[in-house]
Amino acid sequence: MRIHFCILILFCMANHLSAENGHRLWLRADTNANAQVTTNQQSPIVAVAVKELQKQWQGTPVQLKIAKTKETQALGNDGFTIAGNPQTGVTVTALTDRGLLYGAYHLLRLQATAAIAGNINITEIPSYQVRILNHWDNLDRSIERGYAGRSLWEWEKLPDEISPRYEEYARANASIGINGAVLNNVNANPKILTGEYLVKVKALADVFRPYGLKVICRSISQRPRHWADCLTPTRSIRRCGNGGKEK
């Protein structure tokens, strides 16, 4: 009987572990909180902020407010204020929708770390306007100096197939204030700027945009002629990927 009980416990634990793949990172609060969230403006970025709070915020109603005042101008595009009380209501104020998104994630972080004890009066202004993740990924999905598998970007499937991991990636970045991603290696392959690949880059940008995440592609090369050849229609397309030499 005891052996059967132990097997049952192990089976339940295995099911629980298999359900958690780690993709949510620190955003693992209850996803059915049904919090009351209002906003004075609408945009795709604001919609993400509202959705995150509705699913995870376990306190009193939250108001998201975009305002153009002397105080919010000082916050810049990505700053925000959080004021109120978890018993009476909380207001997140910002100059832009990106500021509201970062403020929403900050509020959830306070909840996750049990850092809300009474009245809230927070002002956050990023020290840097550009906060990026710098990928060294190649178009064949290998990674220069990479030791953790292949690139996240499935170029061969884009733009027709959009992996759910792309939105998880954007969400993870936005939740800690990152606002840009360099997609390709510093030793850039010029094909990234051809029409074939720009369509793929756009597909990623469309997923990232509601999370305030900008796409950046490197275009540095020590061989300008190689770039010119690769970006010239018809005949030069044959030269891309062949060191700038005719096949």
Cα 94 to Cα 80: distance, rounded to the nearest angstrom: 5
The pLDDT score that the predictor gives to residue 84 is: 95
Amino acid at 136: W
User: 79, 125 in Cβ contact below 8 A?
Assistant: yes
CA-closest candidate to residue 108, choices 168, 30, 21: 30
Ranges assigned E (strand) in 95-224: 120-124, 132-134, 180-182, 214-216
| C-alpha distances in Å from residue 91, one per residue of 30, 43, 216 | 21, 18, 33
The pLDDT score that the predictor gives to residue 22 is: 81
The pLDDT score that the predictor gives to residue 8 is: 47
Cα 106 to Cα 94: distance, rounded to the nearest angstrom: 13
Cα 38 to Cα 50: distance, rounded to the nearest angstrom: 8
Cα 17 to Cα 14: distance, rounded to the nearest angstrom: 5
The pLDDT score that the predictor gives to residue 222 is: 54
Q: Is the pTM of this model over 0.85?
A: no
DSSP for 107-144, please give it: HHHHHHTT---S-EEEEE--S-S--EEE--B-TTS-BT
The pLDDT score that the predictor gives to residue 235 is: 42
pLDDT in tens, the chain (247 residues): 555 444 545 445 444 544 677 887 888 876 777 899 999 999 999 999 999 999 999 989 999 999 999 999 999 999 999 999 878 899 999 999 999 999 999 999 999 998 888 899 999 999 999 999 999 999 999 998 878 789 999 999 999 999 999 999 999 999 999 999 999 998 888 899 899 999 999 999 999 999 999 999 987 655 555 555 555 554 433 444 444 444 4
User: 56, 28 in Cβ contact below 8 A?
Assistant: no
Cα 176 to Cα 17: distance, rounded to the nearest angstrom: 25
| C-alpha distances in Å from residue 226, one per residue of 85, 139, 218, 229 | 60, 17, 15, 5
